Structure 1
């Protein structure tokens, strides 16, 4: 498995970047406390497994046999990361007060998190065009796939629990224009840098 550390950093940045999943976790934490976030977080993590299975496994044979497909997807993924970085840099801070209040039921929050992840273009594109770049076709595909996907899902749980843990303490800063701008611009620069790194990576 190639460049695992780079994958770890890219996956962590993707999970931690502002998006619907992060907003849902923060909103649940602000309304229900830490325990009230677990259903949604686990739903998002499980959704990542489903998206990965659908998006990445179908590309395994193609990427193992076609250098052209590998190169094409590499540059598509790099371009997407740069685009995401520019969009985050320009984006206004999230307004948590406009988020709909979800049900406090654990099963309903799990389904909410799962459905959100299944329709999240950021997750779909990550597994479709970026994820396969870290698979070594000369080694066992199943083991590498399982390792990377479980790593991503574990990052979802860890990072979202961290967000939930500090949501109330950081509420004023997170919802302030200055705090929101800092979060967006930091994430934007990070994604642009990862896009450049992915474009220059070799098989």
Structure 2
């Protein structure tokens, strides 16, 4: 497959994967509504960094190596489920306690949360692994592969950072202040559901 002529198709598939509802988009939306643009953008930057790490790893062939060693993927799967359950617990605790919405987290903490959220997501390994397995051919130009990595990264940045800016606007933030306990409860259920699905899913 010629990478450059197939770039629109590649970007289309990657757009669906990055923009679809999931733990990362939920965390970005909730953080942006509850803590503002700064924390939301930092968390989105962490998610984006994790996505770029998996993308570069897959392009370099590391994902294929990981897939040959099932215990590595299993360890990431269990760690990812555990982290989602931890997020569910924190959201449930916020919903139970009530009170004012949480104050803004530090920029460093928000970035780390987003990074861990994506690095412990084994689905990313399989997505990028499958994507590059399709387009990689013997003698593939490193320049062309680099263009794909950069294009997918730029598109992901637009999606994740765009979500942060969208949900940190005055309207969504005001709605969050009025219904933050309900949003925290729904977030807890969603994170727990994602964690349970990840823990019980067959990834092979």
Return the offset for 1:108.
Answer: 1.4
| Structure 1 gaps, min length 5 | 63-96, 177-203
Whether contact under 8 Å (2:44, 2:161) holds in the other structure is: yes
Q: Which residue of 1 aligns with 2:136?
A: 135
Are the structure 2 counterparts of residues 47 and 138 from structure 1 closer, same or farther at C-alpha, using a change threshold of 3 Å?
same
Are the structure 2 counterparts of residues 54 and 170 from structure 1 closer, same or farther at C-alpha, using a change threshold of 3 Å?
same
Whether contact under 8 Å (1:103, 1:109) holds in the other structure is: no
Match status 1:39 vs 2:80: no
Are the structure 2 counterparts of residues 133 and 102 from structure 1 closer, same or farther at C-alpha, using a change threshold of 3 Å?
farther
Match status 1:151 vs 2:151: yes
Secondary structure of the residue aligned to 1:152 is helix
Structure 1 segments (4+ residues) deviating >6 Å? 59-62, 99-103
Q: Note the alpha carbon deviations across 1:80-100, whole angstroms, 9 max, x for none.
A: xxxxxxxxxxxxxxxxx6597
Q: Note the alpha carbon deviations across 1:19-43, whole angstroms, 9 max, x for none.
A: 1110111011101222221211111
CA distance in 2, matches of 1:108, 1:52: 23
CA distance in 2, matches of 1:117, 1:166: 21
| Structure 2 gaps, min length 5 | 66-90, 95-101, 183-204
Q: Note the alpha carbon deviations across 1:25-76, whole angstroms, 9 max, x for none.
A: 10111012222212111111111222123333227999xxxxxxxxxxxxxx
Whether contact under 8 Å (2:51, 2:118) holds in the other structure is: yes
Relative to structure 2, which stretch is displaced further, 104-113 or 17-26? 104-113
Q: Which residue of 2 aligns with 1:163?
A: 163
Are the structure 2 counterparts of residues 164 and 111 from structure 1 closer, same or farther at C-alpha, using a change threshold of 3 Å?
same
Q: CA RMSD in A?
A: 3.6
CA distance in 2, matches of 1:114, 1:27: 16
Q: Which residue of 1 aligns with 2:109?
A: 108
> Which TM-score applies when normalising by structure 1?
0.58
